[in-house]
Amino acid sequence: MIASSDPIARSRDRILDLLLKSEAPLSVQVLGAALGISRNAAHQQVAALEHEGLIERASAIRTRGRPSQGYRLSAAGMAAFPRQYSLLAKQLLGELSQLLPPDQLRVAMERMGEKLAETLESRLSGTADRMTAIAGLMRELGYESKALEGSDGAEIEAHNCVFHDLAMADPNICEVDLALLRKLSGKQVEHRRCMARGERSCRFAFKPK
């Protein structure tokens, strides 16, 4: 995960890191002691991370006194850590594009985008600016993306494409991005610019269904 200059963000990142590396659930008391912060401050951080779906309650931890609630990373919390999937993904998509006819490849790409969105959409819960949050998730996936206001509504622009070479050979690959954005936004997505068409960026416009 990327280090932050914000002390609160650093504490949150450290909690996630401690839970990632621990074989057993950790209590608020243990997390607070590891971070050198008060139990109350640790509880606030844990409550915020639980609300965001990044951690979840596990079995109680036995102590000399009353059992303490244990916490562990959720699936979304695990996904928050960087993973280098791009090379493998490109190889898999390249094989699929060779094996499947265009109509079947398009359906397969849509399903992949939707499945990817399902692993990410819990992290959008409670976000005030959904488009900015979606653009942030795209950056974690390897896109240089940003949310902006277009002439007729919200847009997301990406100045690189994770699957650019494959999309140049077969535009059906773009369905991964389109299905991902449709699922995360709950809106129709118009692919207004596309680097596979020779334009300088990919731009996606969002419209009500």
Q: Which of 23, 58, 79 is the last residue of a domain?
A: 79
Residue whose entry in the numeric block shows the structure tokens 């990373």: 73
pLDDT of residue 7: 66
Q: Is residue 158 a part of any domain in this protein?
A: yes
Q: 201 and 98, same structural domain?
A: yes
Structure tokens at 208: 């009500």
Residue 91 lies in a domain: yes
Q: Which residues, given as ranges, of the chain have pLDDT below 70?
A: 1-8, 63-65, 82-88
* 162 Cβ contact list (under 8 Å, min separation 6): 86, 89, 141, 142, 143
The verdict on residue 186 lying in a domain is yes
Looking at 16, 49, 79, the residue that finishes a domain is 79
Mean pLDDT of the chain, nearest integer: 87
- Locus of tokens 């992949």: 112
Q: Are residues 41 and 134 in the same domain?
A: no
How many Cβ atoms from other residues are within 10 Å of residue 201's Cβ? 15
What pLDDT is attached to residue 177? 94
> Quick check: 157 and 145 in contact, CB under 8 A?
yes
Q: Which pLDDT score is estimated for 87?
A: 66
* Tens-place pLDDT, residues 74-115: 888 887 776 555 566 777 878 888 899 989 999 999 999 999
For residues 91 and 183, membership in a common domain is answered with yes
Q: Cα dihedral angle (114, 177, 92, 108), rounded to 10 degrees? A: 50
pLDDT at 170: 83
154: CATH: 3.90.1520.10
Tell me whether residue 1 is in a domain: no
Residues 133 and 183 in one domain: yes
**Residue 87 buriedness (CB in 10 A; 0-12 / 13-18 / 19+):** exposed
Assess if residue 2 is contained within a domain: no
Strand order in the sheet with 145-150: 145-150, 153-158, 202-207, 188-193
The reply to whether 140 and 42 lie within a common domain is no
pLDDT recorded at residue 8 = 67
At residue 46, the pLDDT reads 95
Rounded to whole angstroms, how far apart are CA atoms 189 and 181? 7
Residue 203 counted as domain residue: yes
Assigned domain for 162 exists:
yes
Specify whether 16 is located in the same domain as 55. Answer: yes
Identify the domain containing residue 24 by its residue range: 7-79
pTM: 0.59
